[in-house]
Amino acid sequence: MWLSRAADSLNKFVHPAVGVLHSAGVGVLAVLMLLTAGDVTLRYVFNRPIIGSYDLTEYMMAIVVSFGLAYCAFLKGHVRVDFVVSHLPRRVQATIDSITGLLGVILFSVVTWQAFIYMQLLFDSGLESTVLHIPRFPFAGLVCLGSAFLTIVLLANFLEYLSQVVRK
């Protein structure tokens, strides 16, 4: 079946990348924890807060969240209401999943496209963080990257469902 083969090869390509992305994201999360705890400690004990911790937190959050999206979708971990569809025959289930899957692919293709435009707008305007003056566009670019990988994972999921529909 060329459909399930396509889904498999897409998954093979995307799986390692999604893993790397997620590891990088949670690595940043560990740093974010140290930053926040360090900031509070330094402020109260030594009266010297970490300058720009607010800016850094915002940028780190952009990475932590967007780098986990694809991984969560890969594990089919996004919350959904299962109890109606799970009672239907398998092929009907797969048909419904393909339709909603396609909607998901379309939605996040648009989100990725808009995230890309947003990055360009930020690049052109040269917007920076308020305290440390770090440009914002690279982080918008990382959000776009995370969203792009989510779209690819959703596409692989969609092909998988579709192959179940047409399977004899």
Partner 1 sequence: MTPLTVGIIGICILLVLLFSRMPIGFVMALVGFAGFAYLSGFDGGLGVLRTVVYSTFADYNLSVIPLFILMGSFCFFAGLSKDLYDTVHSWLGQLRGGLAMATVGACAGFAAISGSSLATAATMGTVALPEMKRYKYDDRLSTGAVAAGGTIGILIPPSIILILYGIITEQSIGKLFLAGFIPGMLEAVFYMVTIYLLCKSNPLMGPPGPRTSFLGKITSLKTTWVVFALFILVIGGIYLGVFSPTEAAGVGAFGAFIFGLARRQLGWQAFKNSLVDTGKTTAMVFIIILGAMVLGYFLAVSRIPFVLADIVGALVVNRYVILVLILLVYLFLGCVMDSMAIMLLITPIFFPLAISLGFNPIWFGILITRVTEIGLITPPVGLNVYIIRGVARDVPVQTIFRGIIPFLIADVCHVALLIALPQLSLFLPSFMK
* Site residues, partner 1 (CB under 8 A): 22-23, 25-27, 29-30, 32-37, 39-41, 44, 54, 57-62, 64-69, 71-73, 75, 77-86, 93, 96-97, 99-100, 103-104, 107, 110-111, 114-115, 117-118, 121, 139-140, 143, 147
Decide whether 9 or 130 has the Cβ nearer to partner 1. Answer: 130
From the CB of residue 91, how many other CB atoms can be counted at a distance below 10 Å?
12
CB of 5 to partner 1, least distance (A): 25
Q: How far is the CB of 109 from partner 1 (least distance, A)?
A: 11
Find the shortest distance in angstroms from Cβ 11 to partner 1: 18
**Cα-based distances in Å from 21 to 16, 30, 45, 53:** 9, 15, 36, 23
Q: Which of 5/121 has CB closer to partner 1?
A: 121
Please, what is the minimum distance in Å from the beta carbon of residue 2 to partner 1? 25
Which one, 118 or 123, has the nearer CB to partner 1? 118
Environment class of residue 124 by beta-carbon count within 10 Å: exposed (0-12), middle (13-18) or buried (19+)?
Answer: exposed
Could you tell me the smallest distance in angstroms from the CB atom of residue 65 to partner 1?
Answer: 4
Report CA torsion sign: 95, 100, 106, 108: negative
Query: Which residue lies nearer to partner 1 by CB, 10 or 56?
Result: 56
User: How far apart (Å, rounded) are the C-alpha atoms in residues 93 and 87?
Assistant: 9
- The DSSP line for 86-130 is GGS-HHHHHHHHHHHHHHHHHHHHHHHHHHHHHHHHHHHHT-B-T
Comparison of 7 and 94: residue with beta carbon closer to partner 1: 94
Which region holds residue 48: left if phi is over 0, alpha if psi is between -120 and 50, else beta? beta
